[in-house]
């Protein structure tokens, strides 16, 4: 049994695609737009970037695959919405790694003072 906070290889395999999705300036920009302006369509979004609408569509697909956005068809247009849940996941990974480091530092300190 491993602690629920442990950083198992399985967790890493889940975390990697999530961070990879965040690892692009255009995609981060899309998230910021969706955060600040609320749900938007592709054409509205692509107006704010200097790449084609299809490029933005691909980026949104990547974000959706990572669970960072969702979309719903409404008539002839598709509305894209920011999904804060997965962001919380990413935050958790970082916190766990950081905690792991602190624990290691504690061990080192105890060893040196011994």
- Is residue 68 within 8 A of residue 87, CB to CB? The reply is yes
Query: For residue 89, how far is the Cα from the chain centroid?
Result: 8
Residue (27 or 42) nearer to a copy of itself, CB: 27
The angle formed by the CA atoms of residues 80, 63 and 37, to the nearest 5 degrees, is: 40
Verify binding: residue 77, DNA, rule CB under 7 A: yes
Contacts of 96 (CB under 8 A, 6+ apart): 5, 6, 7
Window 66-105: residues binding a copy of itself (CB under 8 A) = 82, 84, 87-88, 90-91, 94-95, 97-98, 100-101, 104
Verify binding: residue 47, DNA, rule CB under 7 A: no
Of all helices (H) and strands (E), which one includes residue 81? strand 77-82
Q: Which residues bind DNA (CB under 7 A)?
A: 23-24, 26, 41-43, 50-55, 57-59, 62, 73-78
**Residues in touch with a copy of itself (CB under 8 A):** 7, 9, 12-13, 15-25, 28-29, 31-32, 35-38, 82, 84, 87-88, 90-91, 94-95, 97-98, 100-101, 104, 108
């Amino acid at each position: 049994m491993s602690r629920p906070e442990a950083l198992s290889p399985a967790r890493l395999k889940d975390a990697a695609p999530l961070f990879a999705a965040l690892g692009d300036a255009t995609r981060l920009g899309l998230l910021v737009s969706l955060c600040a302006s609320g749900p938007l369509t592709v054409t509205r979004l692509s107006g704010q970037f200097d790449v084609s609408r299809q490029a933005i569509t691909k980026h949104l697909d990547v974000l959706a695959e990572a669970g960072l956005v969702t979309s719903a068809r409404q008539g002839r247009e598709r509305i894209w919405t920011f999904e804060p849940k997965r962001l919380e996941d990413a935050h958790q990974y970082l916190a766990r790694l950081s905690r792991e480091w602190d624990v290691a530092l504690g061990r080192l300190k105890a060893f040196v003072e011994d």
